[in-house]
Structure 1
Amino acid sequence: MEHCLSFLGSRIEEAKSTVAAAAAALINPQLQIEALQNRVGPETENVFDDTFWENLSVVINALDNVNARLYVDQRCLYFQKPLLESGTLGAKCNTQMVIPHLTENYGASRDPPEKQAPMCTLHSFPHNIDHCLTWARSEFEGLLEKIPAEVNAYLTNPSEYTSAQANAGDAQARDNLERILECLDRESCQTFEDCIAWARLKFEDYFTNRVKQLIFTFPEDAITSSGAPFWSAPKRFPHPVQFSSTDRSHLHFIMAASILRSETFGIPIPDWAKHPKKLSEAVDKVMVPDFKPREDAKIVTDEKATSLSTASIDDAAVINELISKLEHTRKNLPPGFRMKPIQFEKDDDTNYHMDLIAALANMRARNYSIPEVDKLKAKFIAGRIIPAIATTTAMATGLVCLELYKVLDGAHKLEDYRNTFANLALPLFSIAEPVPPKVIKHNDMSWTVWDRWVIKNNPTLRELIEWLANKGLNAYSISCGSCLLYNSMFPRHKDRMDKKVADLARDVAKVEIPPYRRHLDVVVACEDDDDNDVDIPLVSVYFR
């Protein structure tokens, strides 16, 4: 019996995999299906492990984001499994056949990036709800994912991290350190009440203080250098929002922001956090300092970038001071403290991700007198969701099924397969053979991106080098992850020759090999006998 894996995208009310399994079982009761709801990614490789992938015959994708598609593509590439890729966008649909050793992989070609609004528009001059939602999602990722991840990078190896920032000595390094210090010191949270205070002050910063600064720098009657009114269309003159705990929208922002902030700090969420009256009483206790606009604030108004900055200061001197303060702050943290970065997930209606993004966007829309949207509309825009058309989906499904017959039948040539692009609104139907992969040749060998060289029986470093030498390749550098296991230029590395590659990965590269993993991958730099570099495939060393 063939093993077929189908990865599906987002869900509404019920998981797609569960619904699809039930529908397929009605069509064919003898079909054996196991519906999973696990997110596909590096964090679930204990579920989708080596044995899982090796037992598959074909993979069919119906994912709703590029990152997930690229991850599955890399897994199929790695385990040399056929991938039937498809997607729909309104009246458009496409199918791509990714066949081991015959075609290029999905990630070999990429669509051009989408046109985005200038940063100055998003930061200071939005004029539609899309701008507000784009800004909201950016702030969400910065506050709840990127900064906590940066904090963890520092806490994992403080001396190495600060040394790297000091060596960089630029504005970016200074900004990284400032954000980490702010998160661990001035904005640190130990209780849920601290998270409420943080959320309340963020509200004041985003929707009151920044707007007051903007209209202080550019009053309503401001004019440009050419004498035209500064606040002319499409710019909208903003108005600061006065916080009120009786405003449901304001309180919903506080609730979502404080709950997610508590998650990043590992703080338990009390039952009363979702009770409007008790939450209102707690937020009214927060002391909010008065705001005074700065005379020296700079707000960029062209397409370069938007920032509020003061006069230039010697970054290197400030960096050294920040490192000193960070070291003092770190000593006061609980042993082993780490933050928990939050990755945006639009499809779980209980995780408060879309609640916060919708609240951020709507408060900003209120600043600029832009019509607000409900959570569902915000989800469609922020998640870049375009409603599917049943006809388009049916067409993509049918085209993939036609190619599936060929894959399961086996032994087909490249010209037997078809990629399709269709636009039912034009109408346009473009059907073509898949593109073959690029071929690299060396002596009497050749390989493509599909190839992965495998060496078994838990070899030593010497055995790996000799194995490559038998292929006419002289290995001068072997690395695992970001760590160098061997380099012919380093005399001390010759002491490692009789050690197992897997043991070197554990001891030198500090690779944590989970129990379900039976191999590790190493990148080898090789030369031929004429000292020309040869780009060889990834080498998988099996130790079990």
Structure 2
Amino acid sequence: SKATVAREAALAMRPEASIMAHHGNVKEERFGVPFIKRFSVVLNGLDNMDARRHVNRLCLAAEVPLVESGTNGFLGQVTPHVRGRTECFECQTKPAPKTYPVCTIRNTPDKPVHCVVWAKEMLFARLFGDPKALSELDEEDSKQETEASGAGEGGEVDGEVKKGEQDLSFFLRNEGEVALDYARRIFARVYGADVRRLVAMEDLWKKGGRKPPSPLENSLTAGAPPALGGGNPHATLSTAESAGVFVAACAALVDSCAELGELAFDKEQDVMVDFVAAAANLRMACFGIPQQSKFDIKGIAGNIVHAVA
């Protein structure tokens, strides 16, 4: 757990310290006001707004100073809150995370952030997350496929599983499939077949002078993919370079899945950022959107909090 890892990191710096790690949900009853009163100060490093508000209220009730910290993309902040002397964490209204329509992300992106949301929330989660879980983007995909095929509520057409569910199985790694072969197969699908499917949806491109996307199959060159983790993070890669990074990162991550199980995106993991940056830039290339540096995409990805609506 994060608590255990934090304890180990702190003890490495101060081995003489006495630190107890508690693994659990901060909103559990055992972490109520009596628990907070045991401390002279609370240092908060939670990663969601609801939990941060909860701890703020506990500290107010317990009259224990709170040092609140957090990050938003590359921006970090630390603020002290002392009852009766300073404003509390909730005295300043916090901006709600910006959301983006599912249909725009899936079908008609026109901004870099749309492509980053697609790469992080849809593609990364679909390839390396829980294979049985459907994101909001996947659910929309399945719904569209079902409506197109005429499936009823039971999800079957003439005794067959609805197309949306069949489609998701494509993204599973086949038994004995080499990681690089898997990565190239995924590349061909998402930047080839899926893009051609969008092009064929002619009604999408009749509105507002939208230009249909272009498939990228020819951008993937033969040979070994590049090494990951190097290069200038402020540089913008060519489409061919992004294709190589996509394959290399995808292969590395799918091997990690085989060893560790499902993965969750972490902006501090270079290979994950490499994948999302390459995937997003390739998506931008399909739709004629100016491509971005890895540094810029990392900032966008780290700032996305449940970004679909």
Give the TM-score, by structure 2 length. Answer: 0.58
**Change in CA separation of 1:134 and 1:365 when aligned onto 2, cut-off 3 Å:** same
Matched position secondary structure for 1:85: strand
Asked whether 1:378 is paired with 2:273, we answer no
Shift of 1:219: 8.2
1:346 counterpart = 2:298: no
| Partners of 1:126 and 1:236 within 8 A in 2 | no
Task: Report the equivalent of 2:190.
Answer: 206
Is the partner of 1:84 in helix, strand or coil?
A: strand
- Alpha-carbon deviation of 1:383? 0.8
Match of 1:83 in 2: 66
Question: For 1:374 and 1:33, how far apart are their aligned partners in 2?
Answer: 43
In the other structure, the counterpart of 2:42 is: 59
**Does the CA contact (< 8 Å) of 1:129 and 1:371 recur in 2?**
yes
Q: Output the CA distance in 1 between the equivalents of 2:168 and 2:100.
A: 31
After TM superposition, list the pairs within 5 Å mapping 1:488-507 onto structure 2: none
Per-residue CA deviation, residues 400-430 of structure 1 (Å, 9 max, x unaligned), is xxxxxxxxxxxxxxxxxxxxxxxxxxxxxxx
Which residue is 2:247 aligned to?
A: 254
**Cα distance per residue 1:106-147 (max 9 Å; x no partner):** 689984533323222211111121111111111212332243
SS of corresponding position for 1:353? helix
Q: Work out whether residues 231 and 237 of structure 1, in 8 Å CA contact, stay in contact via their aligned partners in 2.
A: no
Partners of 2:67 and 2:162 in 1: how far apart?
Answer: 44
1:134-178 Cα distance to aligned partner (Å, 9 max, x none): 11111212332243568xxxxxxxxxxxxxxxxxx666xx88993
Specify whether residues 58 and 261 from structure 1 end up closer, same or farther in structure 2 by C-alpha distance, changes over 3 A only.
Answer: same
Residue 187 of structure 1 aligns with which residue?
A: 172
Q: 1:384 to 1:58 in 2, by over 3 A?
A: same
2:144 matched residue in structure 1 = none
Contact 2:242/2:279 (CA < 8 Å) preserved in 1?
Answer: no
The residue that corresponds to 1:239 in the other structure is 214
Match of residue 165, structure 2, among 178, 181, 204: 178
Counterpart amino acid of 1:348? Q
Output the CA distance in 2 between the equivalents of 1:58 and 1:77: 14
In structure 2, how many angstroms separate the alpha carbons of the residues matched to 1:252 and 1:353?
11
Residues 56 and 89, structure 2, Cα contact 8 Å, conserved in 1: no
Alignment of 1:118 with 2:37, yes or no, is: no
Q: 2:131 is paired with a residue of what secondary structure?
A: helix
Relative distance call for 1:254 and 1:111 in structure 2 (3 A) is same
**In 2, Cα distance between equivalents of 1:212 and 1:180:** 15
Given the superposition, is the C-alpha separation of residues 54 and 198 from structure 1 closer, same or farther in structure 2, using an over 3 Å criterion?
A: farther
Aligned twin of 1:97: 81
Aligned residues: 242
Q: Which amino acid aligns with 1:259?
A: A
Distance 1:177 1:213 in 2: 14
Question: Distance between the aligned counterparts of 2:65 and 2:16, measured in 1?
Answer: 19
Larger radius of gyration between Structure 1 and Structure 2: 1
Q: Deviations over 1:320-377 (max 9, x none)?
A: xxxxxxxxxxxxxxxxxxxx2211110132xx11111111101101101212122111
Cα distance in 2, alignment partners of residues 219 and 144 from structure 1: 33
- Which structure shows the higher strand fraction? 1
1:380 corresponds to which letter in structure 2?
G
**2:274 aligned partner:** 355
Matches within 5 A, 1:118-517: 118-139=101-122, 140-147=124-131, 178=165, 182=169, 187-191=172-176, 193=178, 195-218=179-202, 223=206, 230=207, 232=209, 235-243=210-218, 244-246=220-222, 247-266=240-259, 340-349=261-270, 352-384=271-303
**Secondary structure of 2:217's aligned partner:** coil
Q: C-alpha offsets along residues 33-89 of structure 1, whole Å, 9 cap, x if unaligned?
A: 96x9x9x9759xxxxx9xx9886431223x4x742x655665787896642225687
3-state SS in 2 of match to 1:147 = coil
**Distance change in 2, residues 1:216/1:383 (3 Å):** same
Question: Judging changes above 3 Å, is the alpha-carbon distance between structure 1 residues 109 and 192 closer, same or farther for their aligned structure 2 residues?
Answer: farther
Q: Residue in 2 aligned with 1:469?
A: none
Q: Distance between the aligned counterparts of 1:91 and 1:256, measured in 2?
A: 26
Report the alpha carbon displacement of residue 182 of structure 1 after superposing the two structures with TM. Answer: 2.1
Displacement after TM superposition at 1:92 (Å): 11
- Unaligned stretches of 5+ in structure 1? 1-6, 8-14, 22-30, 44-48, 151-168, 224-229, 268-339, 386-544
The question of whether the paired residues in 1 share the 8 Å contact of 2:250 and 2:275 is answered with yes
CA contact 1:253–1:360 (8 Å) conserved in 2: yes
CA distance 1:145–1:180, shift in 2 (3 Å): farther
Which segments of 5 or more consecutive residues in structure 2 lack a partner in the other structure? Answer: 4-8, 26-30, 135-152, 156-160, 223-239, 305-309
How big is the shift at 1:187? 2.8
Residue 249 (structure 1) shift: 2.2
**C-alpha distance in structure 2 between counterparts of 1:236 and 1:105, whole Å:** 49
Task: Give the CA deviation at 1:252.
Answer: 1.5
* Distance in 1 separating the partners of 2:302 and 2:81: 26
The two structures, once aligned, show a CA RMSD in angstroms of: 5.0
Q: What is the CA-CA distance between 1:264 and the residue it aligns to? A: 2.2
Q: What is the Cα deviation at residue 217 of structure 1?
A: 2.4
